[in-house]
Structure formats: C-alpha cells, structure tokens
Amino acid sequence: MWSSRLGRPRPLACGVEELRRRRREREAALRKARREQQLVSKRLLREDVPEEAAGEGADAPLGEAEVQQFLRLAQRGTDEKEREKALVSLRRGLQHPDTQQTFIRLEGSMRILVGLLTSNRALLQLEAARCLHELSHSEQSAVAEACLPATSYLLTYLSGHSSDFIELCLYTLGNLIVESEAVRKQLVPQGIIPALAACIQSPHVAVLEALGYALSQLLQAKEAPEKIIPSFLDSTLPQHMLQLMQPGPKLNPGVAVEFAWCLHYIICSQVNNALLITHGALSTLGLLLLDLAGAVQRTDDAGLELLVCPVLRCLSNLLTEVPVEAVGGQMLLRDERIVAALFILLEFFLQKQPSLLPEGLWLLNNLTANSPTFCTSLLSLDLIEPLLQLLPLSNAVSVMVLTVLCNVAEKGPAYCQRLWPGPLLSCLLNILALSDTEVVGQSLELLQLLFLYQPEAAQAFLQQSGLQALERHLEEIQLRDRVHAVQHTALHG
C-alpha cells in the first residue's frame, strides 16, 4: 500500500534532479507556512501539469462565455452524452484558477452546479461533484466560500452507499474545510460530526481514508479546540477511530495514518485527554507501536514513518496526563517491549528520516522520567550504548539523549553502577570539548548525578583530565556555577 502510493511513477518531463529541487522548494514553502501558522496542505502542483500534458490544451482557462455555454448545455441539453461532455469540459477548465474566478463571478453558476449535483442523472451528478472538487482545490477562500450552497448536499450524500461518490464528497469537504473558516462555521451546525460518525461505519477502505483526511483537516483548524473537538469527543467517533487503529490483520495503514493524525490534533489540543485514556487510547497506541516496530523489520517500506510519527506524538502527550495513581493500571507502562519497539523505530528513523529522531527521544523521555521500570529496562536490554551512538548527530538530539540518561542516573546508586564502568564517561568528556551551552549544561547535570552516586566514576574522570575539560566553560555565565559544583563534587566526593 505504501510503496504504491509514494512510489507512483509520473510521466517525467523533467529529470530526477529537477524533482528533488522541486521537492526541496515545496518543503521550504511548507516550513515557511508552518512558521506563519498557515499550513495549508492542498496546494496542488498545477505548475507541473502543462509540462506533462503537453499539447492537450485542456488546461487553458475558459472565458466567461465558454463557462456559461457549458453550464447551459449541461443543464438543458437534450442529449445525455452532450450534457456530460459539457460538464467534463467545464471540470477541465476549472483546474485553472482563472476559470475558477470566472465561474464564481458568474451569476447563478453555483445554483446550476448544485442543481446538477442533486439531479437524478447519476453521471451528471458525478461530474458536477468533480467540478466542485476542482473548485475545492482553490487557494482563494472566496472560491471555497462560493461552494457553501453545496455543503448540505455533500453531507447528505455521506450517508449514501455509492462509495466512489462518498469518497469524492469527503475529499471535497476536506479541502473546503482547510481553506475557509466560514465553511467550517457552516459545516458544524449542518451536522458534519454526526454525518462523519455515520460514515465511519462504511466497510470501504477508500471511504475511511477520505474520511480521515476530512476529519484531520477539521481537527487541525485553529478554532478546533473550542468549537469542534468538544462535540467530536461527545460523539461515537473516538471509539470507532480507536477500533480502526487496532493492530492486526485488518489494520489498513492508509486509514490508520489519517486517524493517527486526527488523534494527534485532538490530544495536543488538550481538551479532554482523560476521556481518550478511558477509551483505551494508550493501550491501542502502544500495541500499534509494537506492531509498527515489527513491521519495520519485515518490510522496507519508506512510508512507515508517516504512521509512526503521529503515534509517537500521541503516546508522548498522553503519557503526561496519566494520573500517578492510574499508572499501575496501565498495562503499557509495565511492558518493556515498548522500549524495545521504540529503539527499533529510532534505528529506523536514523536510516530513513533522521529529522524525526527528536520525536522518538521525546517519547523515551516521557517513558523513563518517572519510571524505575523503564529506566531498568534501558539497562537490562543493553540500550545505553546504542543511545550514546546518537550523541554526535545534532545538538537537539544530544540534549535529549543526555536528558534520558539523567532520568536513569537520578534514580540512585543502583542505576549509576550500571552506567559506569562503560563508555559513558568518555562520551561525556568528548561533549565537554563542544561549545553548545545547552548540551554542555545537560552533560554537567549528568556528571553531577554520576559522581554523587558512583564516586569511582569521579576518580576516573579526574584521571582522564576531566578538570581541564571543564575549565574552558567557566567563562560561560549559564555554566559557571555548575562547572564549579561539578569540580567540587569530583574532588571532594
């Protein structure tokens, strides 16, 4: 499923280098958009199209007269085929943003389109829906808002049985939702949540994926925590979603990806995560993580991180909301396979997507912070050394690795005795040769704990010129006091 989606070959009018360059551009554009908190995901690569479909002329914008003519033909033509053809021509024209503008400015155009959408001619209905879908791709919120008269029908059709049509309606809705707050303001009272709750019972995988997409866009809206997530949590959608994410032979990765992202948007909005925990979210997500770690070994699928990422995020955030008294009741928190799975996934990230390593380490921190069980697992499963191997990767990764090691070390002598003798000390000495304040600061915290609980380590440190390594950081204001304190602990125990 994964490779078919991501590795789909497109007719190449340009070379691999060109594709890479475009991808980097898109990535840069997305990063910029995210920093401006305007991450809109439906920008189609329309600029690619003219190169690929050379000479077809299907993408030239339509003039007002042409749009009018096609609409008239579609609405009042006598021959079924002619009507369909007119709509197809209109749809092709609507791929062009100029035609979209022309269309929405034409009086009565949406009314005619909605009429065709709700007509009793099935093929015209399909084509009208496709025209709407084209409009939904526009980046102009005016175009999205022009589609408002159609939304009640799109929602009504979600309860039907024509799976292709439902899928199309869902993607259209998802696109409209992203683009315009006015659309969202209308869809919620129109009953989008109950409509989706009914639709999620569909047995069609493609429908479920489309539903997940639409829902993820709805939950990502900036007003979602106040206006949308509460009614979502009140509905039956959370239980159904969690059920569809249960690992096993019936798990569909494409569906799971969409719902995992939905869950992430809900959980990180911090509306009522306790409710999700009572629905078994922790155990479902934990079992899913185990399953994914197993899958990583079996297949070489490059798309797996699309699912691993949101699952990690959900688990990490949910872990912060398990009340202390409930920890014992959560099976997940007493199962060290989760630590094993996480390391297998860290290794996978290292190979395929190193930028996601911090997210994996975040989970590791949340698992180990208050858990003697998992700190012991790190030691008994021999995972300290692999963890140390991640240190050189980046400052962010270093800080997180050192934090996890501090989680272990602060639990006392029994833990520190297992940290040293070992490679830890020489790694720390290497770090002291660096200059990043945060990294060095965290390593000072670790040294302090290590020396406190394992005095022999301090001896070794002194013998390996540790004091001199510390000296160079005395000038840094944020480090000075801690450097002095570590020197003191090393010398006087």
CA distances from 484 to 33, 356, 455, 456, 487 (A): 44, 35, 17, 19, 5
Nearer to another protein (CB atom), residue 97 or residue 225: 225
Q: How far is the CB of 142 from another protein (least distance, A)?
A: 19
Enumerate the H helices of 94-121 as residue ranges. 97-105, 109-117
Cis bond leading into 149, ω under 30°?
A: no
**Does the protein bind another protein through residue 37 (CB under 8 A)?**
yes
Q: How far is the CB of 491 from another protein (least distance, A)?
A: 15
Longest dimension (CA), the chain: 98
**H or E segment to which residue 453 belongs:** helix 437-453
**Does the protein bind another protein through residue 63 (CB under 8 A)?**
no
Q: Sketch the per residue contact string, 361 through 380, with another protein: x for CB under 8 A, - otherwise.
A: -x--xx-xxxxxxxxxx-xx
CA distances from 387 to 193, 294, 407, 429 (A): 44, 20, 13, 16
Which part of the chain contacts another protein (CB under 8 A), choosing from 65-73, 111-119, 427-435, 458-466?
Answer: 111-119
Cα–Cα distance measured from residue 342 to residue 492, given in angstroms and rounded to the nearest whole number: 39
From 69, 101, 118, 464, residue interacting with another protein (rule: CB under 8 A): 118
**Does the protein bind another protein through residue 105 (CB under 8 A)?**
no
Report the site for another protein in 131-190 (rule: CB under 8 A): 133-134, 137, 149, 152-153, 156-157, 159-165, 167-168, 171, 175, 186, 189-190
Token pair listed for 260 = 């995992």
Which part of the chain contacts another protein (CB under 8 A), choosing from 64-72, 100-108, 420-428, 477-485?
Answer: 477-485
From 241, 311, 383, 490, residue interacting with another protein (rule: CB under 8 A): 383
Q: How far is the CB of 165 from another protein (least distance, A)?
A: 6
Nearer to another protein (CB atom), residue 11 or residue 463: 11
Contact 179, 139 (CB under 8 A): yes
Please give the DSSP secondary-structure letter assigned to residue 381.
Answer: T
**Does the protein bind another protein through residue 19 (CB under 8 A)?**
no
**Does the protein bind another protein through residue 94 (CB under 8 A)?**
no
**Does the protein bind another protein through residue 89 (CB under 8 A)?**
no
- Count CB atoms within 10 A of the CB of residue 13: 12
**What are the CB-based long-range contacts (under 8 Å, 24+) for 36-40?**
37/222, 39/220, 40/139, 40/178, 40/179
Cα of 457 vs its chain's centroid, Å: 42
Report the site for another protein in 188-217 (rule: CB under 8 A): 189-191, 193-195, 197-198, 202-207, 209-210, 213
Q: Sketch the per residue contact string, 285 through 314, with another protein: x for CB under 8 A, - otherwise.
A: -----x--xx--x-----x-xx--xx--x-
Residue type, 233: L
Report the site for another protein in 120-139 (rule: CB under 8 A): 120-126, 133-134, 137
Tell me the site size for another protein, rule CB under 8 A.
152
Please enumerate in sequence order all residues whose Cβ is within 8 A of that of 146, keeping only pairs 6 or more positions apart, or say none: 103, 104, 110, 135
Left, alpha or beta for 37 (phi > 0: left; psi -120 to 50: alpha)? left
Q: Please tell me whether residue 391 adopts helix, strand or coil conformation.
A: helix
Q: How far is the CB of 480 from another protein (least distance, A)?
A: 9
Cα–Cα distance measured from residue 94 to residue 100, given in angstroms and rounded to the nearest whole number: 5
From 331, 392, 395, 421, residue interacting with another protein (rule: CB under 8 A): 331
Burial bucket for residue 385 (CB in 10 Å: 0-12, 13-18, 19+): exposed
Which part of the chain contacts another protein (CB under 8 A), choosing from 14-22, 102-110, 339-347, 466-474?
Answer: 339-347
- Count CB atoms within 10 A of the CB of residue 490: 21
Radius of gyration of the chain from its Cα atoms, rounded to whole angstroms: 28
Nearer to another protein (CB atom), residue 451 or residue 463: 451
**Does the protein bind another protein through residue 381 (CB under 8 A)?**
yes
* Residue recorded with tokens 């060109």: 18
Q: How far is the CB of 179 from another protein (least distance, A)?
A: 12
Q: How far is the CB of 251 from another protein (least distance, A)?
A: 13
Please enumerate in sequence order all residues whose Cβ is within 8 A of that of 434, keeping only pairs 6 or more positions apart, or say none: 440
Which part of the chain contacts another protein (CB under 8 A), choosing from 356-364, 422-430, 431-439, 455-463?
Answer: 356-364
**Does the protein bind another protein through residue 43 (CB under 8 A)?**
yes
Which part of the chain contacts another protein (CB under 8 A), choosing from 13-21, 63-71, 264-272, 425-433?
Answer: 264-272
Which part of the chain contacts another protein (CB under 8 A), choosing from 60-68, 101-109, 360-368, 426-434?
Answer: 360-368
